[in-house]
Amino acid sequence: MPSDIRVRIAPSPTGPLHIGTARTALFNYLFARHAGGTFLLRLEDTDVARSTAAFEKDILDGLHWLGITWDEGPGVAGLEEAGPFAPYRQMQRLELYAAAADVLLAKDLAYRCYCTPEELEAERRAREAAKLPPAYSGRCANLTADERAAREADGRRGAIRFRVRPGVVGWNDLVRGRVEIDTANLGGDFVIVRADGTPLYHFTVVVDDAAMQISHVIRGEDHVSNTPKHILLFEALGHPMPVFGHLPLILNPDGTKMSKRKSQTAVADYIAQGFTREALVNYFAFLGWSPGTEDDVLAMDEIAGRFELEKVQKGGARFDRERLEWLNGQWIRRLADDDLVARLLPFTEAAALAGVVDRAPGEAELTALLPLVRERLSTLASITDVVGFLWRDLAPDPATLVPKRWDPATTIGGLTAAREALAAHDPVTWEADELEPPLRALVGARGWKAGDLFMAIRMAVTGQAATPPLFDVLVALGRERVLARIDAAVAALRAAG
C-alpha cells in the first residue's frame, strides 16, 4: 500500500525521553502505519548547550523499546542511520540552513539584526512597563548598507531575523479545524539564525520538513501558536505547505501541562518500574484517542488498524497512573509464559543487586511460580512484593504473628500443632493438594477456624498477610524452610511473651 504520506517525530536531545514526546511519536507512527505512509525520526540538536549524547541515546532507545520504530532516521540498537534524506541530525545539516538563510537574505525576506541581548532585554522591559505585548521593534529592519558595514566593522556578526508580513495566516488543522492567527501577534520579526551562526528551531524545522518532504506535521497543541511562523517560512522558501494537526496535551493530574515537577515524565522511569511496552503504548494511544468502540485493551497493530486523527480529542487528557497500572496488569496476564519470565528476570536480578532480596531466582524457578504471581502483578517490579519472601531470610515479628481473632498462646499452640502435622507429612508428597487435608483436619479437631490457622502459618512462613494461596507457598518454600520458619516464629512468640 504505497502512500505519499510522510510524518516525523523530531525530538530534541535536551532531556530524557518524555512521555509527551513518546505519545506524539506514537500518534505519528500510528498515522503512518494506518495509511501505509512513512514515519521518520529527526534529531533536533541545535540547542548545543543543552543537548547531550546520553539524552539522544535515551530517546532513541526508549522509542525503539516501545516499538515505535522509524522507516528513516538515525541508527539505534546497532542499526545504521538509514533513509534518502540523511543525515537525520540537524547539527549535521548546517549547510542546508545556511543556504536557505542566504536565499531569504538575498530576497530581503530576512535581515541581519545587530541588537545585543542587553538591548533586546531593555526593549522587552520597556514594552512590559508600557503594558504592551513583548515584540521585537524592528529596529534593524531597515538598516542601510553603510550602517550594516559599520556594525560588522565593530566585530558584530548579527543574528538573522525573518520579516513577518502583515496579515492573517490560517490553516485547516486536522484535529481542530480552521485556525487563523493575525501575524501582528507573532511578536515581530523573529530570529532564525543566532549571531553565532547556528540556526533556530522555527527555521530548521521548516527547512527540514520541506527537505524531507513531510506531508503532515502532527505535533502537540503547544505548537499551535508557532504554526503561523512556520507557514510564513514555508511560503518564503517557496515550499509546498504540509497539512498540520495539533494533538491535545498530556496533563498533570491537576490539569496543567505535564511537567517533571508534578508527574513522572521520563519513559525510562516507567520502564524501570516494570511497565510493559504494550501497556504504555495502549495507554498513550487512549489518551486523546479512542476507537469509538468499547474495547480498551488493544495491541499496537490493532490500534494502528483503527487509528484516525479525526477521532482524536481536542481537549487535553490528565495522566491517570492507576488506569495505566490496571492496563499493565491486563497485559501482564496476556503474556506467554516464557515471555513473562524473560521480562521478570531483569527485575528479580535488580532486586537482588539492590539488596531487596538475598538471591535472584533462575528461569525455571520463576516459570514454576508463574501461576502464583501472574494475576497479582500490577508491574513487573512488584514480583518481589508478591513472593520476595522466597528469596530472603525472615526476621519474625511477634507483633504481627498473631491472627486477629487469636491470642499469642493460641497462636503458639496452632503453629506447634501445624508444625507437627507438616513434619509428619511424607516429604515425597509435599504438594499443595496433599498438604491441605491434614491441616484442615487439625482445624476440625481443635475447633479453630481454618482462616485463623492459615493466617498464623502464612505470617510465620512469609512475614506477610497477603500472599499467593498458602499451600502453593508452602510448596514453593520447601519443607525445610517451612519447618524452620515456623520454629523461628514460635520461638519469637515465646520470647515475647
Partner RNA sequence: GCCCCCAUCGUCUAGAGGCCUAGGACGCCGCCCUUUCAAGGCGGAGAUCACCGGUUCGAAUCCGGUUGGGGGUACCA
For RNA, the binding residue among 196, 426, 433, 480 (CB under 7 A) is 196
Alpha-carbon distance of 477 to 131, in angstroms, equals 73
Residue number, 65 or 201, with CB nearest to RNA: 201
Residue from 86, 103, 224, 370 binding RNA (CB under 7 A):
224
348 binds RNA (CB under 7 A): no
C-alpha cell read off for 401 = 504473628
State the cell numbers at 360: 535472584
Spatial contact of 81 and 42, defined as CB atoms under 8 Å apart? no
Q: Which of residues 249-278 bind RNA (CB under 7 A)?
A: 249, 251, 254-257
The DSSP letter of residue 487 is: H
* From 233, 470, 477, 492, residue interacting with RNA (rule: CB under 7 A): 470
In this chain, which of 102, 147, 182, 431 binds RNA, going by CB under 7 A?
Answer: 182
Q: Which residue number, 287 or 366, has a Cβ lying nearer to RNA?
A: 287
Query: Which residues, numbered 53-72, are part of the site for RNA (CB under 7 A)?
Result: none
Residues 9-38 that bind RNA (CB under 7 A): 10-12, 14
| Catalytic, out of 260, 311, 314, 449 | 260
User: 260 catalytic, yes or no?
Assistant: yes
Q: Which residues contact 341 (CB under 8 A, 6 or more apart)?
A: 363, 366, 367, 370
Our finding on whether 117 is near RNA (CB under 7 A) is: yes
Choices 56-64, 100-108, 223-231, 340-348 (CB under 7 A): range interacting with RNA:
223-231
Whichever of 106 and 404 has its CB closer to RNA, that residue is 404
- Interface map 296-315 toward RNA (x if CB under 7 A): x-------------xx-xxx
Nearest distance from C-beta of residue 319 to RNA, angstroms: 8
Binding to RNA (CB under 7 A) within 142-181 occurs at: 158-159, 176-177, 179-181
Strands 250-251 and 243-247 come out as: unpaired
Binding segment (CB under 7 A) for RNA, from list 28-36, 99-107, 127-135, 489-497: 127-135
In this structure, the strands spanning 177-182 and 168-173 are antiparallel
Considering the complex, state which of residue 202 and residue 349 has its C-beta at the smaller distance from RNA: 202
Which residue, 443, 365, 357, 371, is CA-closest to 403? 443
Q: Which is nearer to RNA, 5 or 181 (CB)?
A: 181
**What single string gives the DSSP state of each residue in 293-359?**
SS-----HHHHHHH--GGGB-SS-EE--HHHHHHHHHHHHHHS-HHHHHHHHHHHHHHHHHTTSSSS
Q: Which backbone phi and psi does 118 adopt, to 5 degrees?
A: -65, -40
Site for RNA contains 46 (CB under 7 A) = yes
Shortest Å distance, C-beta 139 to RNA: 11
Q: If binding is defined by CB under 7 A, does position 212 make contact with RNA?
A: no
Pick between residue 78 and residue 286 the one whose CB is nearest to RNA.
286
Burial class (CB in 10 A: 0-12, 13-18, 19+), 85: middle
C-alpha to C-alpha distance for 416 and 460, rounded to whole angstroms: 11
How do 190-193 and 216-220 pair as beta strands?
A: unpaired
**Beta strand 168-173 with 216-220: parallel, antiparallel or unpaired?**
unpaired
CA 266 to chain CA mean position, Å: 5
Does residue number 353 form part of the binding site for RNA (CB under 7 A)? no
Report the 10 Å Cβ neighbour count for 166.
Answer: 7
For residue 170, what are the β-bridge partners?
A: 180
Nearest one of 468, 462, 440 to 453, comparing CA atoms: 440
Using the minimum distance from each CB to RNA, give the nearer residue, 288 or 361: 288
- Options 107, 125, 260, 323; binder of RNA; rule CB under 7 A: 323
Phi, psi of 295 (to 5 degrees): -75, 140
Name the minimum Å distance from CB 115 to RNA: 5
Q: Which is nearer to RNA, 323 or 494 (CB)?
A: 323
200 is a site residue for RNA (CB under 7 A): yes
Under rule CB under 7 A, residue 80 binds RNA = no
Query: Contacts with RNA in 362-381 (CB under 7 A)?
Result: 375-376
Exposed (0-12), middle (13-18) or buried (19+): which is 355, by Cβ within 10 Å? exposed
Q: How far is the CB of 192 from RNA (least distance, A)?
A: 8
Catalytic residues: 260
